[in-house]
Amino acid sequence: MELKRRFDCAIEQLIDDFLGESGKSEAFNMNRRMATIRIRREHSSVTQDMHARFVGAWKTGKYQGEHFDFESPAALSRVLSPKRWELLKKLQVEGPIGVRALARAVERDVRRVHDDAQALIEVGLVEKDNKGKLFVPFEGNQAAQSVV
């Protein structure tokens, strides 16, 4: 998972270098980011897909979306437990919000919400703004299952 995130960051950096500042705002309108969450059992299909997205981004200079691939439903549920999924949904509705306010909104302990938020930040599904408030950086999320 960490390798995939580094690869996606490298793609963004390469396109940024390629387009320069003038093309960046058009290619990477961060208000329009899209996340795709998939279960894919075969490692080679994940690698092929990453390659295709890289080449597509390189050739077109356009944002290809962000993908979170898991090898099994169990791996997905370790990262996106029902409580964490609830946090994602609440953050999408509320917009940027502090941990304490989020904990109150979902009626959970602040420490547990903090821990879950940190886990979601580590995988890239949640980010913090310059004031330290949590938010979901994606306009939409797609879920897909591929058994290949």
User: 89 near 34, Cβ under 8 Å?
Assistant: no
- Does residue 24 register a pLDDT over 50? no
Give, in words, the CATH class of 80-138: mainly alpha
Q: Which is more confidently placed, 4 or 148?
A: 4
Ramachandran sector of residue 54 (left: φ over 0; alpha: ψ -120 to 50; beta: rest): alpha
Q: Kindly list the strands in the beta sheet with 33-40, ordered across the sheet, starting from the edge strand earlier in the chain.
A: 66-70, 33-40, 138-146
Instruction: State the pLDDT at residue 18.
Output: 44
Give me the residue spans of the domains in the chain. Answer: 2-76, 80-138
Q: Which pLDDT tens digit goes with each residue over 98-144? A: 999 999 999 999 999 999 999 999 988 999 999 999 999 887 544 43
